[in-house]
Amino acid sequence: MRAANRLLLTGLLAFCPMIAFAAEDAPSAAPDVTIRTDGDRTIQEYRQNGFLYAVKITPKGGKPYFLVRADGTSPNFIRSDQPDMLIPQWEIFSW
């Protein structure tokens, strides 16, 4: 009887880490949207699995527009309604 209890306890302890792995969130199809305000505009950041792929900017008195990745992976953003317009991303200061 004692041996059976020990085997049962050992089996449960070995099975617990598997439950933790199964409980982790799987990648979802829905994007994570972060909404914040900056002065007189609202900024919505769209992320998929932690990867920022689009930003929607809504000025208080203007038409909303999207900034999207230039080639899908680079950190350079372009306006979706004006693809020829370049968005500068200069590094002013670094350590």
pLDDT per residue over 82-92, tens digit each? 666 655 666 77
| Within a domain: 14 | no
Instruction: Give the domain extent around 68.
Output: 32-79
Q: Low-confidence residues of the chain, pLDDT below 70?
A: 1-2, 4-28, 72-75, 82-90
Q: How many domains does the chain have?
A: 1
| Within a domain: 87 | no
Residues 6+ apart with CB under 8 A from 33: 44, 45, 46, 47
| Within a domain: 62 | yes
Q: In this predicted structure, what is the pLDDT of residue 19?
A: 60
| Within a domain: 40 | yes
Q: In this predicted structure, what is the pLDDT of residue 70?
A: 74
DSSP string, 22-72: HHSPPPPSSPEEEEEEETTEEEEEEEETTEEEEEEEEETTS--EEEEESSS
| Within a domain: 71 | yes
CATH assignment of the domain containing 57: 2.20.130.30
- Cβ(67)–Cβ(55) below 8 Å: yes
| Within a domain: 63 | yes
